[in-house]
Chain A
Amino acid sequence: MSNNIPADLKYTKSHEWVRQTQNGALEIGITDHAQSALGDLVFVEVPDVGRALAAGETCAVVESVKAASDVYCPLAGKVVANNVALSSKPELLNEDPYGAGWLFRLEADASADMKSLMSPALYRTFLAEESK
């Protein structure tokens, strides 16, 4: 099982990761653990730019040979960019889940609380618990 958990990201229990970019936007994707569990991805549906999302809202679908899985928005905000490359190359998400496989960027609402997310250490513990 792949379990790469970069130290500079935050995580959710539903296996999304969040990166704070230099211009303040949040970049969001799914973790290495999630892509590995799903297997080869064949379709990825990302949210439209401009869409307002609530924390926990279903915002994207990642579909592998095995199953379709919803992606939940980690924090409230507005979509400012999405990864269009994934529609023709869904395998980017398997190959590089923390880089070329990013899903969308979000301008977080003022109310959004980064502290609601898990640290890398907490996410690692969470995965270990989950696999028991």
Chain B
Amino acid sequence: MGLKTPLYDSHVKLGAKIVDFGGWDMPLHYGSQIDEHHAVRKDAGMFDVSHMCIVDLTGDRVREFLRYLLANDVGRLKTIGKALYSCMLLPNGGVIDDLIVYFMSQTWFRLVVNAGTRDKDLVWIRKEAVQFGVNAVERKELAMIAVQGPNARRKAANLLYPEQQAAVLELKSFCGTSFGSWFIARTGYTGEDGFEIMLPATDAADCWQRLLAQEVQPAGLGARDTLRLEAGMNLYGNDMDENYHPLESGLEWTVAFDPAERDFVGRAALERAQREGGKELVGLLLEERGVLRSHQKVQLNEAASNDLTGEVTSGTFSPTLNRSIALARLPKTLEHSVLVDIRGKLHAARIVKPPFVRHGKPLIDIRKES
């Protein structure tokens, strides 16, 4: 028996197929993960993400602390409610975790970190926080529901009072607002518009039920994975971990090297890595039938030597493109195509720039290039 979120009984009632996910009993799907995927792309779907870890950081020097702790620069957060995606690095540049940080008040920032990394994250954060007098509290009493899709915001807003509706519908991308102990942000992990709602665990089942009444489709971890991969978003543990730095993980855009005087954990290592080059994370589109899956070997040409090989870090079947797509870590190359070893046979795949799909629209032309 694993850990259960406050919505576990709701999932079981809906006939979810429950699987173990990092020690949590989570819904994989509620019947068809492909139908759930399309519901999010075309209408609205909801995910129980209460297994993720919400950490509130408080203290007079909390901003200074986060500018040191995170590779992206919290100094960019000027208005209350604004959010930022960032990596938290080891001194050698390896990625401890990726997270979203919300600016709640001058003395309070909120982090949302991955479920599988919560323990090591909390140890690391608390160790570093001491010298800044910052306090880190895990908000175990909160649940989190992600409502995603082109109709997600409108349907979710229907749960609120009229004056609250206006406030959440006015939220800009990557901004959030509080209503008492609820916090609603226009963020997500699907490549669609939508909200992530943090709320007291005791309100979660009722909120879920009311979203069902708005015809929001429950969606499981299966659809969450195909959606995020189509959106070109990394999954911690697959596409990055402590063995690779952000520049090898397609996350250079999340590292704020400016201003030059900001010293953050991992900075020196990343500056060295910038000079040295190395591997990079690319998107792959399989030109043939079959499905790319993590750990498949990738070769840059027919007679690949070891320094010309890489590996699929996440692969799946894309329901929107009706093709297989992947993220893969490869030596830097000018090639446009690679060969992937799928069950002992080499298959051609095209190197593409993620995202593959955004806001319901394919961004990759799947027709074969001549």
Q: Is A65 an interface residue (CB 8 A)?
A: yes
Main secondary structure of the interface of B (DSSP, over half): mixed
Cross-chain contact A63 with B34 (CB below 8 angstroms):
no
Using A40-B33, A42-B34, A43-B290 as known contacts, list a sample of 17 further A-B pairs with CB atoms less than 8 Å apart, ordered by residue number in A.
A39-B28, A40-B32, A42-B317, A43-B291, A63-B290, A63-B291, A63-B317, A65-B33, A65-B34, A65-B222, A65-B226, A65-B317, A66-B222, A67-B293, A68-B293, A68-B343, A94-B32
Q: CB-CB < 8 A to A91: which residues of B? A: 34
A sample of 23 inter-chain contacts (CB < 8 A) reads A39-B28, A39-B33, A39-B222, A40-B32, A40-B33, A40-B34, A42-B34, A42-B291, A42-B317, A43-B290, A43-B291, A45-B289, A63-B290, A63-B291, A65-B33, A65-B291, A65-B316, A66-B222, A67-B293, A68-B291, A68-B293, A68-B343, A94-B32
Cross-chain contact A39 with B291 (CB below 8 angstroms):
no
Cross-chain contact B29 with A39 (CB below 8 angstroms):
yes
CB proximity to A under 8 Å, residues B99-146: none
Whole-angstrom distance between the alpha carbons of A39 and B31 in the complex? 8
Whole-angstrom distance between the alpha carbons of A25 and B288 in the complex? 33
In the assembled complex, the CB of A10 is this many whole angstroms from the nearest CB of chain B, namely: 28
Q: CB-CB < 8 A to B222: which residues of A? A: 39, 65-66
Q: Across the two chains, which residue of chain B brings its CB closest to A45?
A: B289
Q: Across the two chains, which residue of chain A brings its CB closest to B343?
A: A68
Q: CB-CB < 8 A to B32: which residues of A? A: 40, 94
Q: CB-CB < 8 A to B29: which residues of A? A: 39
In the assembled complex, the CB of A125 is this many whole angstroms from the nearest CB of chain B, namely: 23
In the assembled complex, the CB of B235 is this many whole angstroms from the nearest CB of chain A, namely: 15
- 9 tightest Cβ-Cβ pairs between the two chains A and B: A42-B317, A40-B34, A65-B317, A63-B291, A40-B32, A43-B289, A40-B33, A65-B33, A39-B33
* Cβ contacts B27-44/A at 8 Å (1 or 0 each): 011001110000000000
* Cβ contacts B283-296/A at 8 Å (1 or 0 each): 00000011101000
